[in-house]
Structure 1
Amino acid sequence: MKKIFITGATDGLGFMAAEKLIEQGHQVVLHARNKTKAEIVHQKLPNAKAVVTGDLSSISQTYKIAEALNRLGTMDSVIHNAGVGFKEPYQETEDALPHVFAINSLAPYILSCLINKPKRLIYTSSGMHEQGDTKLEDLLWDKKKWNAAQAYSDTKLHNILLAFAVSKRWPDVFCNVVSPGWVATKMGGAHAPDDLEKAPETQIWLSSSEEKDVQISGQFLYHKRPKNYLSAANDTQLQDRFIDFCESLTLIKIP
């Protein structure tokens, strides 16, 4: 039995993963954006170990999520599942950051830095990362040039850069990144072509299995198998540039 934390667990793939892991007997800590969503998801999954609340678009609330989780002890696995989609309109957070960057890119960085180091880390990317900007020239995007699909693609590249950077810094942690596919969740839309049932399987497997095949790190996976990804993500200088930028915004370093 493992203790597993899942961000964005109130619906979609996060909820599906949580439901399966609880059925398997694991102690699952859920994350919800606010108290109302927390109450609803706890009613749906009453056997969850706990629910922590906080808006990942807010730096201060993301800090509090990490603090609340650490009070519950050290997790065996953390699944960074939360995210907003490729149709997200331009909007700024209370920290004057683009909403999509704050949730998709910066929140996983903050939580990675502040949560007690788990044994396993799973980040969530997308096939759209292949259209991500490998120059990292405009990480926060010019509002006048806003392109929602490009911004989303950029953040999904950021997730790979973060996962690979953390895997190098923490050789004692199994740290990987997953593409669940384009599936018919609220984010993906009703006409998404990939298999919804298979979409959370890799996250469940990496976070809970005792198979030797999960004892890997620095991998990009799709349906439990390595998948080709943008080769630029292997560039350690690019990884460090992203990490340094996140550090400059938050004033916290990866331990």
Structure 2
Amino acid sequence: MVSVLVTGSADGIGRETAATLVERGHRVVLHARDDERATDALAAVPGAAGVLVGDLASLARTAELAAAAGAFDVVIHNAGLGGGLPERTVTEDGLELLFQVNVLAPYLLTALMPRPRRLVYLTSGLEAQGVADLDDLQHERGPWDGMQAYSDSKLLDVALAFAVARRWPDVLSNAVDPGWIKTKLGGPNATDELPKGADTQVWLATSDEPAATVTGRYFKWREDLRANPAAYDVDVQERLLDACAELTGVTLPAAPHRG
């Protein structure tokens, strides 16, 4: 049995991931952005060990979530926003919403929580169209393009997973494209069912197979694929970590103590 935190597990792929892990006998803690969704999450996954509440669109509440979470064997960074925002939106922290929720929040949780044995960061196949513009991470230049901003954030999630894998060699840190799954985020035209979208995360979280006990990889449906070339660029990774540290005020520990 392993202990797992699944962020964004009130519905969709996150809830399916959590439910599957519970069914297989693991200790799972859910996460939701508010109390109402937390209640719904517990009702949907009654075997969960508990639920944590924290709005990832707030740096303060994300930090509070990290403090309340404690230590886990595995953290699955599933929470995220899609690319349907019609205009650039700024949070209470003065940060662009997609970038804050999709990139800064998993960075901050990674930096503040006790170091797990395994980390899984959810990305998207649209990371292939992403651009790692480290001088405009929050899309302050030019006209707003929600889908491009989403694609960029998903590329940065892969770069974050790879950066953590390189910085923390004793932690298995990987990125997963779950596919085009039939969820609210995936939309009505999505082609694949929820179990398929959750399977790879469950496998990476729990399996001792050689194919699953690797790090710094990009998976889709248990297949080890090549990601956007920018994600492998150490300069991109380091500049991303520096930017996240500057924006959050929290540096990723070089050699943190295992929780």
TM-score w.r.t. structure 1 length?
A: 0.96
Tell me how far 1:193 sits from its aligned partner. 2.3
Residue 86 of structure 1 is matched in structure 2 by 83
Tell me how far 1:232 sits from its aligned partner. 1.8
4+ runs of 1 displaced by more than 2 Å? 134-137, 193-197, 210-213
Per-residue Cα deviation, 1:206-252 (whole angstroms, up to 9, x for no partner): 01123232110000000011112111211100111111100010111
Tell me the number of residue pairs that the alignment of Structure 1 and Structure 2 aligns.
Answer: 252
Distance 1:45 1:135 in 2: 39
Tell me how far 1:194 sits from its aligned partner. 3.4
Matched, 1:128 2:126: yes
Matched, 1:241 2:229: no
Distance 1:126 1:138 in 2: 21
Tell me how far 1:99 sits from its aligned partner. 1.0
Matched, 1:19 2:16: no
Residue 256 of structure 2 is matched in structure 1 by none
Residue 117 of structure 2 is matched in structure 1 by 119
Per-residue Cα deviation, 1:137-163 (whole angstroms, up to 9, x for no partner): 310112761100010001001101100
Distance 1:23 1:165 in 2: 32
Residue 47 of structure 2 is matched in structure 1 by 47
Counterparts in 2 of 1:71-220, with a 5 A limit?
74-89=71-86, 90-142=88-140, 145-220=143-218
Per-residue Cα deviation, 1:35-87 (whole angstroms, up to 9, x for no partner): 111111112222211100010010000001101101xxx20100000001011
Specify the code of the residue in structure 1 equivalent to 2:59: I
Distance 1:59 1:207 in 2: 26
Specify the code of the residue in structure 2 equivalent to 1:77: V
Distance 1:45 1:163 in 2: 27
Moved more, 114-123 or 87-96: 87-96
Matched, 1:65 2:65: yes
Give unpaired runs (5+ residues) of structure 1: none
**What secondary structure, in the 3-state scheme, does the structure 2 residue paired with 1:28 have?**
strand
What root-mean-square deviation, in Å, do the aligned CA atoms of Structure 1 and Structure 2 show? 1.2
Moved more, 199-208 or 35-44: 35-44
**What secondary structure, in the 3-state scheme, does the structure 1 residue paired with 2:115 have?**
coil
Distance 2:41 2:193 in 1: 24
Distance 2:133 2:10 in 1: 34
**What secondary structure, in the 3-state scheme, does the structure 2 residue paired with 1:145 have?**
coil
Specify the code of the residue in structure 2 equivalent to 1:149: M
Tell me how far 1:195 sits from its aligned partner. 4.3
CA contact (8 A) 2:123 2:175 kept: yes
Specify the code of the residue in structure 2 equivalent to 1:9: S
Distance 2:229 2:38 in 1: 39
Distance 1:40 1:149 in 2: 29
**What secondary structure, in the 3-state scheme, does the structure 2 residue paired with 1:221 have?**
strand
**What secondary structure, in the 3-state scheme, does the structure 2 residue paired with 1:214 have?**
coil
**What secondary structure, in the 3-state scheme, does the structure 2 residue paired with 1:180 have?**
coil
Per-residue Cα deviation, 1:167-226 (whole angstroms, up to 9, x for no partner): 001011011000001111100101012343311100011011232321100000000111
CA contact (8 A) 2:54 2:65 kept: yes
Distance 1:137 1:182 in 2: 30
Identity of aligned residues (%): 43
Distance 2:196 2:21 in 1: 14
Distance 1:102 1:126 in 2: 17
**What secondary structure, in the 3-state scheme, does the structure 1 residue paired with 2:4 have?**
strand
Distance 1:100 1:229 in 2: 21
